[in-house]
Structure 1
């Protein structure tokens, strides 16, 4: 019989594609991952990976075992989710994943009211651009800007994020030909709001790029140029005004996501109702 820890290391290696990536996820060094997989191979009497200088592709047996092992991993996560929903204590934690702007400008300001209503529930909020892996326990509830396609997830459309072009009144007063622009860096070039900005440029320069919305907002507040921002972030900023545009601004749907077994938890249901209510107020589906 193989060691379950060896199987776990192999599953992560198969999913991530390299010893170093698997080691980062497992919180160990790559030699440990290699040693665990070697032990798995010895126990099964099968070669699972090819040890090449710069990669570790799976053998045919490795691919077959990885597919079977992934099912075991999914079931183990389901067991953990059931335990979380069934084993609530008087003091419960619920982890939320949301885009940084939604986390900072919509959710965080309302945490005090939630705590007053539900003092026994501790919220752990993660504002990140990456999509949280609910099946791996990264969060119990997620707010996403793309509708998930997994059929086993519980999905609810809760808001519509709107965008506009903003600048200081002084920059807005410049002739259009003299206007400069601020943008996300190249990692976001395929996002709808960045593609919209490209249509607005018409040969005018992008003078500053950043990887996060709040840096862009502060740069715009300094008078550097015009920037595309969510309306729930910038409409309340006294230093910025909306600039008219000939092309209609894009919108992004916001989705609330969890697993059905987690939604049976009283605490998770309370958090989902809270998120749906506050996001709909700031990003209403209907104007």
Structure 2
């Protein structure tokens, strides 16, 4: 009989497509995933993956086993959700995935209020830009900037983040509008709405600095490098000035979502209420005019 934990590691590899991605999802070393998959192969006596120049490719037998593994894993996650949903108090750990800017600027500063209200609750807050899988229990609750389309999820709009153009006051005072230069995300994020909007406003004017991190954009703007598209509450917190370029702004809705199996769980409901309060309009929209 094979080890169920070996099957879990193989399922992650099959789902993610690479050792490194599977290791990140399971929060283990990639060598652990490799060892577990090899142990599963030895136990079942079937070659599940071809190892080609550092890449792992599922064999036909591996693909068949992966289908069964996904079903077993889905049922295991369902059992975990049922177990969490049955808990009637807040003496539980609730994991939340949120975009880093929301986790850092809107949730983090208010964590003491959550602790005072629910001292026995344990919160795991993950600041990440990727879309986590709630059915796979990569988190219990997620805040997203796009509306989910998975009908197994409970979802509600809890706020709106308004982006404006921000730069240092020295930068704006020293340049004419036609001479503005811009700060943007790197090419991996070219399709996010605020990046598309920034590039449209920039037109032929140059993007002189790119990064994959919003905080680095802010420090670059502080250093007079150029103009960045930032949430209003972030621009204000870095002491930046709103660039009145065509009075431009763009808004993105924030959606709170969790699996419907957890809708009656008191701990999840308590954290969801706290998160909604963190996204109240006066904490986001109304600061963009600064």
User: Residue 92 in 1 paired to residue 92 in 2?
Assistant: yes
Report the Cα offset of residue 79 of structure 1: 0.9
Specify whether residues 117 and 62 from structure 1 end up closer, same or farther in structure 2 by C-alpha distance, changes over 3 A only: same
Aligned to 2:201: 200
Q: Do the aligned partners of 2:89 and 2:266 also contact (CA within 8 Å) in 1?
A: no
Deviation string 1:175-196 (CA, Å, 9 cap, x unpaired) is 1122222112222111111111
Q: Do the aligned partners of 2:145 and 2:255 also contact (CA within 8 Å) in 1?
A: yes
What is the alpha-carbon root mean square deviation over aligned residues? 2.7
The 5-angstrom pairing of residues 115-134 of structure 1 reads 115-134=115-134
Report the Cα offset of residue 266 of structure 1: 0.7
- For 1:57 and 1:7, how far apart are their aligned partners in 2? 16
Aligned to 1:191: 192
User: Residue 135 in 1 paired to residue 135 in 2?
Assistant: yes
Report the Cα offset of residue 249 of structure 1: 3.0
- For 1:203 and 1:19, how far apart are their aligned partners in 2? 42
Secondary structure in 2 matching 1:57:
strand
Secondary structure in 2 matching 1:245:
coil
- TM-score, normalised to structure 2's length? 0.85
Aligned to 1:153: 153
Q: Do the aligned partners of 1:168 and 1:239 also contact (CA within 8 Å) in 2?
A: yes
Aligned to 1:10: 10
- For 2:34 and 2:179, how far apart are their aligned partners in 1? 57
Structure 1 gap ranges (5+): none
Report the Cα offset of residue 101 of structure 1: 0.8
Q: Do the aligned partners of 1:10 and 1:36 also contact (CA within 8 Å) in 2?
A: no
Deviation string 1:160-181 (CA, Å, 9 cap, x unpaired) is 2211101222222221122222
Q: Do the aligned partners of 1:180 and 1:225 also contact (CA within 8 Å) in 2?
A: yes
Count of matched residue pairs: 282
Specify whether residues 138 and 203 from structure 1 end up closer, same or farther in structure 2 by C-alpha distance, changes over 3 A only: same
- For 1:92 and 1:157, how far apart are their aligned partners in 2? 25
- For 2:2 and 2:278, how far apart are their aligned partners in 1? 49
Aligned to 2:60: 60
Specify whether residues 106 and 21 from structure 1 end up closer, same or farther in structure 2 by C-alpha distance, changes over 3 A only: closer
Q: Do the aligned partners of 1:6 and 1:40 also contact (CA within 8 Å) in 2?
A: no
Which deviates more, 213-222 or 7-16? 7-16
Specify whether residues 227 and 86 from structure 1 end up closer, same or farther in structure 2 by C-alpha distance, changes over 3 A only: same
Report the Cα offset of residue 148 of structure 1: 2.1
